[in-house]
Amino acid sequence: MFRILLSVGALTLTALQPTLALTPLPQNSSLVKNERFGFSFRAPKSWASVALKTDEGWLASKHLSNKEYFGTDKTTGYTYSHVPEMLCIAFIHANQERKKVVEEESEDGVTTKTTTISNPYKDYEDFLDRTYAGGGWYVDSKDKGKHGKIEVTRYSVKVEKLARSGPKRIITWIYHAPDIDFVLQTEVLEAEYKKLRSTIEKSLKSFKFIERSGELLPTGASTPGGIRITRRELTEGTPKERRSKRVESQKIKHEKAIRALPKDWDHQYRGKVLVLDHDQDKWAKKLGDHADLLIEWLSKEFSYFGENEYMRAPILRVCNDSDEEGAFTRGTRTGTTGSYSYVAPGSEIVTHKPDTGWIGGEVDWVNGKLLEQWLLDRNEDAARAMPEWLRIGIVTHVRGARRDGRKLEFRVNEYAREGARLAASQGRATAPRTIMSQTREEFSSGAGGGGTFSKSAEAAQLVRFLLSKEGARCKQAKTLLETYVTTLTQVVDEINEKDKGVASIGNAPKTEEEEDALGKERAERWRQKEQDMVREVFERTFADWTEKDWSSFTKAYFKFIS
C-alpha cells in the first residue's frame, strides 16, 4: 500500500454517523442482511466480511475474497497481485443535492463563500471517477432492466490505463428503490473475470429488498434521539468544558467502533489507545504500546502547544494485511480544497502489519497520523497555521520514533541528513533566517535558494537541531522552538479574536457535512492570511536578536548539519 504524507496544516471535522445495523451472520453463512437500509444478498462463499468505518454512513457492506490472484505486465514484466472485492453502497436520494454555495458581501465589500456538502458522491459514476481517477476507467457497457420486480441498471467497467496491480473489470448492478439506489460492485482482475463471472452473478441475482427497522437512514441530519457533539462544543468554552465534551466524544466514538466490529475482530486498550485488530494480536499490542508512549512523549516535549487541552484517545485499527486495509478504506470520504487535504480530528488511524516490520515506512506513517491527531486536538487553528519549515521538520522527526522498552528512540531520516549536508557542502543551503521567514508558497517555489527537496531536507534538520543536545548547548537555539510556537499560537489567537463573528455566514452548522464545509472555509481563510501571519510571528520571535545572535545561531546550525 502506497502512503502519502498528508499536511497537518489543514483539516476537517469528523462525521458522527449512527452505527450500521448489520445483523450478525451465522457461522459459515454468506447471507448479508441489513435491516437499517432494508436489503439482503448472499456474498460469495468464503469471502470475508470487511469492517466498515463508523463515520461513513453510505457504505453498507464490504467483502474480500479468500484467494489472491496474480498477473504479469507484458510490457515491464512486473508481477502484480489482486484480491477480488465486493462493495455495497447506498445512494440516498435525499443526499443527492451534493453541494450548496452561499455568497455574502460584507460592509467592506469583501465577498465570502460558504460551501456545504450533504453527500460525498453525486452518483455512481462520480464515485468511479474519484475512486479510480488514477486508473483510466471507462464504461464498457451499461443497460437497464429488471431483477424480478426491482428496476436495475447494469454496468461493466474497465480500469486499464495506468492501473496499479493490473487491468481490472468492475461488474455493478444498481438496484433502484423509491428513496435509495443500492450499488453492488465487484472488482476483479480482467484476466480472471471469466472464471469468477458465475460467482459474481450469483450474488447479484440474490439481492432483495426487505423491511427496514432500527436506526434512521444517514441523510446528513442529526439522528433524532441520538447524540451529536459539534465542533463548536469541542473547541469553545473553558479548557475544563472542552475536556468534558472531548471525553464524551471519545466515549461515543470508541463505543461505536467496538459495536461495529465484525465477529472475528478483537479490541483492547493499550494505555489510552483503543486498538482494533484482525488476527494480528501480537503486532497490535506492540503498535498500541508504541502509540501510547509516543503520545506521552508529545505531551511532554511540546507541553507548551495547546497547554491544558485534552487529546482524545486515538483509535488504531490494525487490518490483517494491506489488501484488507485497502478494502476498508476504499469508497470512504476524503475532501480537498485546492492543494489542501483534510483529516478529521479524532478519526481512526487505519494500518496493517507490513512486510517491512518495525523499521519500515508503515510505522513512520502511523507516527505521522498520531502526531496529526495530537496537534489537531491540542490547538487545531495553530496546527493549521504552521509554516512549512516547522510542519515538515516536526513530522519528519516524529516519523522516525520507535519504542524501545519504556523510552523512544528517534531514527535520523538519512535522506534529510544527506540532502542538507550536500546542500551545505555545495554552498546552496538556505540560511535558517530565510527558511523561518517564508510562507508555504515561498518555501515550495524555491525562493531564497535551493530546490524544494533541498529545503525540505534542511527544514527537517533545522527542527532536529532545535530538539537536539547540540541545539540545547547553543544559547540562541536552546528555547527557540518553544518561543516560536508560543508566539505562533498567540498570533493565531489574536487573528481569531479579530475575526470572531465576521467570517461565519448564516446559522451555526446543523449537520456533519455543514461542519466539514465550515472547516474547509476556515482553512482557506488561513491560507489567504498566511503571509501577514508568518511575518508577524517571525518579527515577534526574533525582535531582540542582533546580527551577532543570528551569526552564532547560523554557525551552530551549519556545523550540526555538516
Three-state DSSP class for 309? Answer: coil
Mean pLDDT of 283-299: 95
pLDDT in tens, 361-396: 999 999 999 999 999 999 988 998 999 999 999 999
Same domain, 303 and 434: yes
Which residue has better confidence, 12 or 101? 101
Residue 19 has pLDDT above 70, yes or no: no
Mean pLDDT, the chain, integer: 80
Same domain, 503 and 452: yes
- 284-304 in b/e form (b: 16+ CB < 10 A) is bebbbbbbbbbbebbbeebee
517 inside domain:
yes
Same domain, 184 and 253: no
Same domain, 126 and 255: no
Query: What grid cell was written down for 397?
Result: 522527526
Out of 4-8, 395-399, 438-442, the most confident range is 395-399
- Least confidently predicted of 102-106, 187-191, 433-437: 102-106
Strand order in the sheet with 85-92: 48-49, 59-64, 85-92, 180-189, 168-176, 150-159, 137-147
14 inside domain:
no
- 5-18 in b/e form (b: 16+ CB < 10 A) is ebbbbbbbbbbbbb
Same domain, 379 and 484: yes
5 inside domain:
no
Residue 514: the pLDDT is 62
Residue 337: the pLDDT is 31
CB 518 within 8 Å of CB 511: no
Look at the chain and count its residues: 562
Residue 207 has pLDDT above 90, yes or no: yes
Same domain, 199 and 235: no
Residue 40: the pLDDT is 95
CB 200 within 8 Å of CB 174: no
Same domain, 474 and 536: yes
Residue 43: the pLDDT is 93
Strands (E), 190-324: 208-209, 266-270, 273-277, 315-319
Query: What grid cell was written down for 410?
Result: 528517534
Residue 13: the pLDDT is 26
45 inside domain:
yes
Query: What grid cell was written down for 533?
Result: 501571519
Residue 223 has pLDDT above 60, yes or no: no
Mean pLDDT of 345-366: 87
- For residue 463, the surrounding DSSP H or E stretch is helix 452-467
When pLDDT is cut at 50, 70 and 90, the band that residue 509 belongs to is: low
19 inside domain:
no
12 inside domain:
no
Query: Looking at residue 123, which CATH number applies to its domain?
Result: 3.40.1000.10
When pLDDT is cut at 50, 70 and 90, the band that residue 220 belongs to is: very low
When pLDDT is cut at 50, 70 and 90, the band that residue 118 belongs to is: very low
Using CA atoms, how far apart are residues 186 and 113, in angstroms rounded to an integer?
Answer: 39
Strands (E), 35-94: 39-42, 48-49, 59-64, 69-72, 79-82, 85-92
Using CA atoms, how far apart are residues 461 and 448, in angstroms rounded to an integer?
Answer: 17
Domain range enclosing 345: 231-561
Give the percent of the chain with pLDDT over 70. Answer: 75
pLDDT in tens, 143-152: 999 999 999 9
Which residues neighbour 333 within 8 Å (Cβ) at sequence distance 6 or greater? 15, 56, 120
Same domain, 184 and 275: no
Residue 290: the pLDDT is 96
- Least confidently predicted of 202-211, 505-514, 551-560: 505-514
6 inside domain:
no
- Least confidently predicted of 8-12, 94-98, 291-295: 8-12
Residue 518: the pLDDT is 66
Last residue of a domain, one of 209, 241, 261: 209
- 121-147 in b/e form (b: 16+ CB < 10 A) is bbebeebbeebbeebebeeeeeeeeeb
When pLDDT is cut at 50, 70 and 90, the band that residue 441 belongs to is: confident
Mean pLDDT of 516-544: 81
DSSP 22: B
- 487 backbone dihedrals φ, ψ, rounded to 5°: -65, -40
Same domain, 56 and 150: yes
94 inside domain:
yes
Same domain, 202 and 263: no
- Least confidently predicted of 34-38, 233-237, 250-254, 464-468: 233-237
How many structural domains is the chain composed of? 2
Out of 101-110, 259-268, 381-390, 440-449, the most confident range is 381-390
Residue 16 has pLDDT above 60, yes or no: no
Residue 213 has pLDDT above 90, yes or no: no
The count of other CB atoms within 10 Å of the CB of residue 195 is 11
| Residue located via cell numbers 524555491 | 446
Residue 446 has pLDDT above 70, yes or no: no
Same domain, 144 and 246: no
Same domain, 418 and 536: yes
CB 178 within 8 Å of CB 20: no
CB 218 within 8 Å of CB 18: yes
Nearest to 558 by CA among 378, 438, 383, 430: 430
Residue 92: the pLDDT is 84
Residue 136: the pLDDT is 74
